[in-house]
Amino acid sequence: DTGVSQDPRHKITKRGQNVTFRCDPISEHNRLYWYRQTLGQGPEFLTYFQNEAQLEKSRLLSDRFSAERPKGSFSTLEIQRTEQGDSAMYLCASTGQSQYGYTFGSGTRLTVV
Amino acid sequence: RKEVEQDPGPFNVPEGATVAFNCTYSNSASQSFFWYRQDCRKEPKLLMSVYSSGNEDGRFTAQLNRASQYISLLIRDSKLSDSATYLCVVRGEGTGGFKTIFGAGTRLFVKA
């Protein structure tokens, strides 16, 4: 499978717990993006990596959120002290040099109870 | 005003109908334009790019009007499988994420 992989597909957690999601982009893609999508809305940008460098962070990425891409391959998104408002679909996307369009992973659906 | 605006719908059309969606954007410096399709509880998938000259892919036609800052998607001979949410995407110059803005989507239901 050469697509973008995300794990887990679903996560239910209690408020206040920490969660971590993983994204494996298409291997030749050097650009990786995290988005968040809630019901009835389009994806909202969270953060962007080019190789291992985190070049952009949205204000949506509060201090409870952190993302890494240590070797320029897979990425992790961690949410600390989860809140009910964090419940959403977290989407990872990657692009290559052509920058044509995003290839999204299947997403991680987070439910905070 | 939102940077990218779409009519949320839903559009309910019978099979075989022609349906058109519009999307307006506020940043006149936007460089690239796309339509994505998103099925319920699935990830968005790139449907097609939108060029000033207009482009067609089978039953789908996309057009861009830079002067009026809107893009359109036309679907001819609708199929049941076309039922989905269609997201308009506008991108500025560069590779970052800030300049790629997704609309909230237009929902389409095609009925037999």
pLDDT tens, N- to C-terminus, chain B (112 residues): 789 999 999 999 999 999 999 999 999 989 899 999 999 999 999 999 998 888 999 999 999 999 999 999 999 999 999 999 999 999 987 777 778 899 999 999 999 9
Q: What is the rounded CA–CA span in Å between residue A85 and residue B30?
A: 31
On whether the CB atoms of residues B99 and B2 are closer than 8 A, the answer is: no
Asked if A55 is an interface residue toward chain B (Cβ–Cβ < 8 A), one would say: yes
Q: What is the rounded CA–CA span in Å between residue A35 and residue A73?
A: 17
Per the listing, tokens 């050097």 go with A30
3-state SS assignment for residue A84: helix
Q: Do B45 and A100 touch (CB under 8 A)?
A: no
Selected for mutation to probe chain A from B95, B98, B101, B107 (highest A CB count within 10 Å) is B95
At A1 the pLDDT is 54
3-state SS assignment for residue B50: coil
Given pLDDT bands bounded at 50, 70 and 90, which one contains residue A99? low
